[in-house]
Amino acid sequence: MTVKEYIELNDRAEINTMLRFSERARQAIDHYGIGDVMEWDFDIVKEMQATLQDFNFLRAVTYMHQLGVKNIGRCELIKAIQNYNYLIEQIKKSIELENELLKSESDSDSIMAGIEELEEIGIYLQLRQIAIALHYSIEQVKKMKYKDALLELVAQKRINDYQKRLTEIKLKKSLNK
């Protein structure tokens, strides 16, 4: 069965049940060469991260097409599902990496200053931060490779962390005089 045939089915319940219990359907394999998440465009990765909770196979078909899979409708369903599982693994990998590299503790001062308001803006802050640092437009940032955008965010975070620690050290020294 092809992806197109599956999508056109009026009732997918029987097929979905078979797939749910199929060992092959749980494998994560990159059949179509979409590659490592680090090489994808920043905006596609961020969009997939934001929609991961609502992610489903049909939405993933659209993303696979954006990542260069041609004629996805003619692809064998089981292979497309394995690629879907691979896509999910890659997005989870990007989320874990960001949590590890960009994690910052919200102290009471940050909370009092309204950090939650900034967090509500989401991805735009990251786009803006990179655009300002590199003198790019938001559209240029969106088309950056994820690895390059992530590197810039990590570099900026480390610089900010360093400057914050340095300021605290200098403040302590001036108070001890």
Model pLDDT for residues 79-108, shown as the tens digit of each residue: 999 999 999 999 999 999 999 998 876 666
CA–CA distance, 173 with 82 (Å, rounded to integer): 58
Q: Are 94 and 45 in contact (CB under 8 A)?
A: yes
Token pair 């749910």: residue: 20
CA angle in degrees (0–180, nearest 5) for 127-105-41? 25
Output the pTM of the full model. Answer: 0.83
Indicate the range of 129-133, 140-144, 170-174 predicted with least confidence.
170-174
3-class secondary structure, 103:
coil
Q: Where are the domains of the chain?
A: 3-94, 108-175
Q: What is the pLDDT of residues 19-38, one digit of tens each?
A: 999 999 999 999 999 999 99
pLDDT above 70 coverage of the chain, percent = 91
Q: Three-state SS for 51? A: helix
Taking the CA atoms of residue 12, residue 66, residue 149 and residue 37 in that order, the dihedral angle to the nearest 10 degrees is: 50
For the chain, the residue count is: 177
